Each structure stands twice: as C-alpha cells, then as structure tokens.
A and B are shown apart, each in its own frame.
Chain A
C-alpha cells in the first residue's frame, strides 16, 4: 500500500512538473518581435499591433501602462521624450477596437473624457487623429515619441511593434484583436 501510494505521488509530481514546464515555455518572451512565438491565435488581419518609433528603447508595455499612455495620463517616455498618441479617424475598425479594449469607452465617452481631462489638467495631451494607417505609420516614423496602432498586416520596418504584457500581435493571449465582424 505504502509503495503504491509513493508511486502515485511520484506520478503526480511528474505530471505537475510537466505542466510547469509547459507553462514556462508558453509564457517565455519571444525572440521574434514581429511575428511572436508560442501558440498562434489571431490572424495578421485581425491583430492590432501597438507601434512606436524605431528609436524608442521601450520594447514591452503592460496593458495598464498602455492604457495610461492612451488615456493621456502619462506624458513622457523613460527617455524624456514627449509621448504623442496617434488615433485613426472615426469609424475605422482599428479605432473602435482601441476604444473598446484600451479606452473601454464609446466615441462620446472618449470625446468627453479628453474635453474634461484637458480642461481639468488631468490629461497632458489629447491624441492626434490621423486619416489612414499609412499616415499613422509615417507619423510614428517621423516622431520619436509617437505611439499608435496598426493592423499587423500594415506594419513594416519603419516602425517598431511593442509587446503588450509580453505578447506580440500573433501570440495566443494577445489582447488587442479586432472583432471578426468589424
């Protein structure tokens, strides 16, 4: 009996160890900054990449930091560079996804938030509204402190993709996915 129990314990330990190894592998940081590693979930068309200027030394942001930046509650990068947020124009799926996932507001809430924030001084700077993903990409390329978002398919070498909570757009647990219906 004792022998059987110790054998069962050993089996449980092995299973737990294996599970831990699998978990560690799953959450390990990716070497590929653009494509991502681990199990894939979202398609490139539906994944929304957060992009910054290539000169920006920041590679990874937590989702809460990202939210602070987009809400205008953080004004400068660690380098001292002023943060400039680029938003796509009204009605575009990328914008709606950002409003929903990052701002967690609708258009009215977004507008009111920045009106009030700028008036009260809670918000340091309101985002720039740009007409197309191409202009967003050029904006980020030209402004060292810029941050914006693009579909993964619109990303090129002129900008750098940030990890959000350690995940790249094509990773399984990446949070910024455009709804298939949009």
Chain B
C-alpha cells in the first residue's frame, strides 16, 4: 500500500500545466542554454588570454630581436664604417706632403680606431655564445695587429717615406685589414642568424595565434548559434506548451469544480422540487451541500496558495519564532479534526530548543499540512507523533528538525520521488477514494524552502511515514552550538 497526497490522477492536465508553467516561468531550459553561452564566452576569454600571451611573447621576441640583432647589426655596420675610416684616413695621409694635413689625417685615423676598439669591447661584453666570444677575441687580436701596422705606416708617411709606407701597407696592412673585415662579416652573419631564429619564433607565435583566433571564433560562432537557436526554439516550444496547457488547466479545474458543484446543484434541486421529505432527509441533503462546498473551498484555497508559491515572489515576512509556540499553534488549528477523528498526538520535544527565524504563518501552514496529511492517511491507527530537536546535519552545522510521524498506509517506493509534485496522487489512493487536492505536500515543501529549510520523507509501505521539516538555526545560537560540538569532538579524540 502506498501513501499519496492530493486528488486527481498522476497524468492529469492540471498537474502537467503546473509543471510546464513552472518550466516556462523559471525557464530552466534556456537558462541551461544561457549557461552554455556563458561557457562559450568563458572559452573565448580563455582563448583570448592564450592569444594575448602569444602576442606578448611575440612582442618580447621582437624586442629581443631589435635589442640583440637589429641594434647589433647597426652597431656592426658602424664598426665596419669606422674600421674603413681608420684605414681610409691613413691612406689619405699618403696623398699630401703637407705635414699639417698628414697630422690631421693621423688624428682622424686614431679617433676612428678608438671607436672601433670601444665597439669591439662592447661586443665582447655582450657576447653570450661561445661562437660569439671566439669571433670577438679573434677580431680583437686582428684589430690590434692591424693597428700596429697602421701606426708604422703613419710613422713612415710622416717621416717622409711614402714608398716604404705603401710597401708596408700592401705587404701587411691589406691582409690584416682583410682579416678584420672578415671577422666583422662573421659577427654580422651571427647577428643575422640570431635575427632569423627570432623571426622564425615570432612567425611561429603569429601562426599559432591566428590558428587559435580562427578556431576560437569558429567554435564560438558555432556554439553561440546553436545556443541561440536552442534558446529561441525552447522559448517557442514553451510558449506553445503553455498555451496548450492553459486550456488543459481550465478544462481540468472545471472538471474538479464540476463534481462538487454538480452534487450541490442536485441536492438543491431535490430540496426545491420537494423530493426531500422530512427532517432527516433535509439534514442529509444539507450535509451534502456543506461537504461539497467545503471541498470546493479547500480546492480553491489550495490552488490560490500554490499559485502564490509558484510566482516566486517574497510572500513571507521573517521574524524570530518560538518552536514550541509554532507547534502549539499548528495543533490548535487542527485540533477540531484531530478531536473529531479521535487522534492521539504524542509530542517529544527538547525543552531547550533555540528560536528560529521564518514566517510563522507559512511554517504553521506547513505543519498543518503535514498533520492533515497524517490524519488523512492514518488508516485507522489514530496516532500522530510530533518530535522536535536539534540535530548535527550534513552541512556540518546544527539545524532544527520537526518530524510528523504516522502509523498509516505508508508510501510505496515508486511513489516516494513524486509525493512533493503538485497534484500528484498515486493510483492506489485514487482507487481507495481518499479525498484530496494533491497540493498539500507540494505547498508544505515550498513553504519549508521559502524559510530556508527543506522537507524530507521516509516511509515504509503499511507501517507509516515520517515527514521531517529541517530548518536552519540562526546566528549566534547556531555558531555556538557548532563550536560546542567541535569542542566535544576534539575532547573525545
């Protein structure tokens, strides 16, 4: 035997309408698609960061290329010019017999040679690779050797021995200067090689960046198109479903309303047409009218209450609540039913329960629904147990648990996942003609959630059910309890 709540079948149009309405108003599907869009955006940002990193590395490489290779090449170009100037000025001194001009040319040659020597020293200071240091050392030695010859040639020119100067320059100056020239070319080639390597690295970064960008834009466009299409079709589908089920809802509610109205109408017609004679018969027809009207009222109240919870608006006012008072209030409001049916209510309450925060009317309605549910499915046991205590919960904090237990029909394993669905009623309950709207537990669950809590159920078919309302304990009581608990655990360990 299973335990159910509410009236109407599991596949009723009303229940389906509420499901769809919830899906449309909360729009979970296109929220999912929005999440997909968000993920696409995140992926784009991620790829963008990678591309930016690539660009930054490219910039660093280009900067290194400029500082190392381009500037180095320019410097070597200057060295080549100054080396030529050293030699050129020396040879210019040969072209004149004017001692003043010869001295000027010698000065120019020495100034150029000073710049070359300084440039070679700078190159050696910056050289990192063994090959660079090797060619730098070789250039230093070759340049010194050439300068010795240059000095000798200058001396000969100034001393008035141009022929000897030319002979010496041809014999030693020219080959030594050629060595210097080749050394400078070698350095230039090294700079060229380094620049080429860095250029290829930059080209690699560029290719990778372009590929990443294209891939990112391509996938982004694809996923965004899919997500937009899905959102759009979901909205359209939802709107169509909503429109269809609005009609179903109207029809279903009309059906639910029609049964009691029909009963009231026929009872009224019986009385009007004089078919009912005598006080007992009149009492019977009056009871039918009152009972059906009450059922009608209950249906309307619950639909309105459920609609209010479905809108998702703040429909409760929070304040501190004494738990004992809350339970007493709920029992007072259900006392008439409990006394009429002859129920025994057993309460096991912790006397030191902390106050909680929530809407008293909402939580009281929640407990009343649970008590009413226990009464409805007690199956003649006439017993309800209510317990309230503080429990160490799964979130490593303390919470208040109020349980309403019955020894009734219980709920089948297959029905347990659906007992909180609006308008859900198990086929067995429908067959047993147990009256109800199928909204009570759904409203109770939403009420618990509205106050920051939750509602759980454990049940065994034929043995009864326990509905437990879990509510958070506000600060500072909750923190103090948690701290005390942690201390006790520490003491035990």
Q: Which residues of A contact B (CB under 8 A)?
A: 53, 81-84, 86, 125, 128-131, 135, 138-139, 142-146
Contacts and interface: CB of A to CB of B under 8 A. Distances in A.
Contact of B100 (A81, A135, A144, A145): A135
B159 interface: yes
Contacts of B103: 130, 135, 138-139, 142
A151 B451 CA distance: 110
Instruction: Determine chain A's interface SS by DSSP, over half rule.
Output: mixed
Contacts of A143: 154-155, 158-159
Given A142-B106, A142-B154, A143-B155, A130 B160 contact: no
Given A138-B106, A142-B154, A145-B155, A131 B100 contact: yes
A53 B158 CA distance: 12
A130 B99 contact: yes
Given A139-B158, A142-B151, 14 more contacts: A82-B160, A82-B161, A83-B159, A84-B160, A86-B99, A128-B158, A129-B99, A130-B99, A130-B100, A130-B103, A135-B100, A135-B103, A142-B106, A144-B155
A143 B161 CA distance: 11
6 contacts: A125-B160, A131-B100, A139-B99, A139-B102, A139-B158, A145-B159
Nearest to B154: A142
A138 B100 CA distance: 10
A138 B107 contact: yes
B155 A135 contact: no
Contacts of A128: 99, 158, 160
Interface string B96-121: 00011011001100000000000000
Interface string B132-160: 00000000000000000001001100111
Contacts of A130: 99-100, 103
Contacts of B159: 81-84, 143-146
Contacts of B107: 138
Nearest to B104: A135
Contact of B158 (A125, A129, A131, A146): A146
Interface residues of B, number: 13
Among A53, A83, A145, which residue has the most Cβ atoms of chain B within 10 A? Answer: A145
Contacts of A53: 155
A125 B161 CA distance: 11
A144 B155 CA distance: 6
Nearest to B99: A128
Contacts of A81: 159
Nearest to A140: B158
B158 A84 contact: yes
A31 to B, nearest CB: 29
Nearest to B152: A144
Among A125, A129, A138, A143, which residue has the most Cβ atoms of chain B within 10 A? Answer: A143
Nearest to A81: B159
Nearest to A132: B100
Nearest to A89: B100
A142 B103 CA distance: 8
Nearest to A138: B103
Contacts of A145: 155, 159
Contacts of A125: 160
Question: Ordered nearest first, which 4 A-B pairs have the shortest CB separation?
Answer: A128-B99, A143-B158, A84-B159, A142-B106
A169 B160 CA distance: 28
A139 to B, nearest CB: 5
B225 to A, nearest CB: 83
B91 to A, nearest CB: 15
A53 B100 CA distance: 17
B99 A135 contact: yes
A78 to B, nearest CB: 15
Nearest to B107: A138
A84 B106 CA distance: 16
Nearest to A86: B99
A142 B151 CA distance: 7
Contacts of A84: 158-160
B155 A142 contact: yes
Among A84, A86, A129, which residue has the most Cβ atoms of chain B within 10 A? Answer: A84
Interface string B20-39: 00000000000000000000
A114 to B, nearest CB: 13
Contacts of B151: 142
Contacts of A82: 159-161
Interface in B73-100: 99-100
Contacts of A142: 103, 106, 151, 154-155, 158
A171 to B, nearest CB: 30
Contacts of B158: 84, 128, 139, 142-143, 146
Contacts of B160: 82, 84, 125, 128
A135 to B, nearest CB: 5
A43 B403 CA distance: 124
B105 to A, nearest CB: 10
A79 to B, nearest CB: 12
A2 to B, nearest CB: 71
A135 B105 CA distance: 12
A129 B101 CA distance: 11
Contacts of B154: 142-143
A69 to B, nearest CB: 13
Contacts of A83: 159
B156 to A, nearest CB: 8
Nearest to B106: A142
Contacts of B99: 86, 128-130, 135, 139
Nearest to B93: A142
A10 to B, nearest CB: 60
